[in-house]
Amino acid sequence: MTEKKLEILGVIPARLASTRLPGKVLRDIGGVPLVARVYEAAKRCPQLTRVIVAADSAEVLGACKSRDIPAMMTSPDHQSGSDRLFEVLEAERADIYVNIQGDEPLLKPEHISALVDPFFSRDDIRVSTLKVAISAEQSLDPNVVKVVSSQSGRAIYFSRNPIPYDRDGQGARRYKHIGLYAYRRETLACFHSLPASSLQLAESLEQLKLLENDIPIHVFETPFDTVGVDTEEDLRRVRELFQKIS
């Protein structure tokens, strides 16, 4: 049986104007800007047809161009990575768009493969994302988004609170949501058109807008955790990890 052919575009939204860690996508990690680390990892994923950085500023665009990283300028006014992704959709044609967070320097090609492989064999998947098992202690951190999913792999809910609630102390297994997404073109367009939802605003989690509008998100487990860079402490930790593996 011939494998279905899909044009899969990896998009790295790179926002310089980060509030918690200004200029983080250009911060140095072992002599390489953070966004370039993410690009290098994404490029190693064989399922991606192309990878492009969606920049919000001349500084990010220039840093990419100096390293021969494909990049395009997008509006600095976008409120989310998915908004930036939609602007790329309007300019770049593909079947599947992969939102690759620009602050995940420990990204592995295996993360992206886990996201996109199901699209080759399953027509029912409209959006995919990832989860990784975490400790009970990690689940208490509101900056770590948790996810619960059904037996068929559909997301039931995402929360900053530890879910499920372990009422009787049975040691419920909890999962961290890794914020990478793959969307079919028509689903990403639909997502962009939807107004903010009540759950989205309550949790400050944009993906809840999809669930409130009955758009299923399929969640696939990965054994590989990531470290998102949001603070100076995160940056220090990632720099130390790269020193160990270099």
Q: What is the pLDDT of residues 111-150, one digit of tens each?
A: 999 999 999 999 999 999 999 999 999 999 998 999 999 9
Query: Could you say which architecture CATH assigns to the domain 8-236?
Result: Alpha-Beta Complex (3.90)
Measured CA to CA, the distance from residue 8 to residue 108 in angstroms comes to 17
Residue 153 CB contacts under 8 Å (≥ 6 apart), including other chains:
218, 219, 220
Residues shown for the chain: 246
* pLDDT given for residue 244 in this prediction: 83
Q: Provide mean pLDDT across the span 206-213.
A: 97
Q: What percent of the chain is predicted at pLDDT more than 90?
A: 86
Q: What is the chain's mean pLDDT, rounded?
A: 94
Question: Could you tell me the end-to-end alpha-carbon distance of the chain, in angstroms, rounded to an integer?
Answer: 42
Q: What is the largest CA-CA distance in the chain?
A: 56
Domain limits of the chain? 8-236
pLDDT tens, position by position, 79-119? 888 999 999 999 999 999 999 998 999 999 999 999 999 99
- Examine the pLDDT at 31 and tell me if it is beyond 60: yes
Q: Report helix angle 34-43 to 109-116, nearest 10.
A: 60
* pLDDT given for residue 1 in this prediction: 42
**Can you tell me which residue has the tokens 């040691």?**
171
